[in-house]
Amino acid sequence: MREIVLDTETTGFEPGEGDRIVEIGAVELLNHMPTGKVYHQYINPERSMPAGAFEVHGLGDEFLRDKPVFKNIAQAFLDFVGDSTMVIHNAAFDMKFLNAELGWAKFKLLPNEQALDTLAIARKRFPGSPATLDALCRRFGIDNSAREKHGALLDSEILAEVYLELIGGRQPDLVLSSTDGGAGQDRSAPTWRAAPRPTPLASRITEEERAAHQTFVDKLGDAALWKSTT
């Protein structure tokens, strides 16, 4: 199963009011494990950066001036995402911006159902508790000390760790793992076996049932499985 953990940085809160995406960061997961493949792109928003947004992510006009505009990176972004589930914290925000940019550039829009919202998962799992990315890092003991300012790639890498904790830890499918010695299984781990009971359980078979079974076996002849000594 392929998933893309994704984050964006923008010039503000509303694409309908002229705000644009200035950075996209995404991390690929395969069967809930990072593959090392990432997508990262700074984008020229073709407008000036508001002071409030600059305080959040530190991406200014001079830095973004020579970066490509969204329409020139849209296809590469779509190719990376494909039809994989996008894991996003507060998905409605990022999807709103991504589809606004894709629409302006005349590319296909991303279906909202393709996004999985970790904010919603966190609020359901920990009702009434803070559910920001920083708060979840504190809850799960994830190091986010490098996060002095928001950055799309760094935040997507941190979110990938948070997501794996939200769905049950770094090996969420462990209890469902095959024991047939397949790929990825730790074959050096000892096989668990139940220890014998200190006191054997008493038989629940009555004498009548035992006699009836013996009569049945006798009728099968000497080749009956129950008469085998090997």
How many alpha carbons fall within 13 Å on the CB side of residue 21? 29
Average pLDDT of span 188-209: 59
CA 156 to the chain's CA centroid: 11
Phi, psi of 162 (to 5 degrees): -60, -45
Residue 225 falls inside a structural domain: no
Beta bridge partners of 88: 117
124 domain residue, yes or no: yes
37 sits in which H/E element:
strand 33-42
CA angle 6, 8, 13 (to 5 degrees): 135
pLDDT of residue 74: 98
Give a yes or no: residue 175 inside a domain: no
In a domain, 211, yes or no: no
The answer to whether residue 230 scores a pLDDT higher than 70 is: no
CB 160 within 8 A of CB 88: no
Position 182 scores a pLDDT of: 42
Classify residue 204: in a domain, yes or no: no
Determine, yes or no, domain membership for 200: no
Residue 150 annotated among the catalytic residues of the structure: yes
Does 55 map to a domain?
yes
Please return the burial class of 10, using the count of CB atoms within 10 Å of its CB with bins 0-12, 13-18 and 19+: buried
Listed in sequence order, the residues at least 6 apart from 53 whose beta carbon sits closer than 8 Å to its beta carbon are 10, 11, 12, 59
Please report whether residue 147 resides in a domain. yes
Relative orientation angle of helices 74-81 and 91-104, to the nearest 10 degrees: 130
Nearest-angstrom CA–CA distance, 186 and 179: 10
Of all residues in the chain, the percent with pLDDT exceeding 70 is 80
Strand partners, 4: 28, 86
Amino acid at 185: Q
Q: What is the pLDDT of residue 77?
A: 98
Q: Would you state the pLDDT for residue 204?
A: 61
Quote the number of domains for the chain. 1
**Mean pLDDT along residues 128-148:** 90
Domain that holds residue 151: 2-170
**Residues 79-109: tens digit of each pLDDT:** 999 999 999 999 999 999 999 999 999 999 9
In tens, the pLDDT along 145-194 reads 877 668 899 999 999 999 999 998 655 444 333 334 444 444 444 444 54
| Among candidate residues 81, 149, 134, the one with its CA nearest the CA of residue 111 | 81
Contacts of 189 (CB under 8 A, 6+ apart): none
Catalytic annotation, pick one of 32, 40, 150, 213: 150
CATH number at residue 36: 3.30.420.10
What's the pLDDT score for residue 100?
Answer: 98
Per the structure block, which two tokens stand in for 139? 């809850």
Q: What is the pLDDT of residue 44?
A: 98
**pTM for the predicted model, two decimal places:** 0.73
The dihedral formed by the CA atoms of 98, 103, 108 and 110, expressed in degrees to the nearest 10: 30
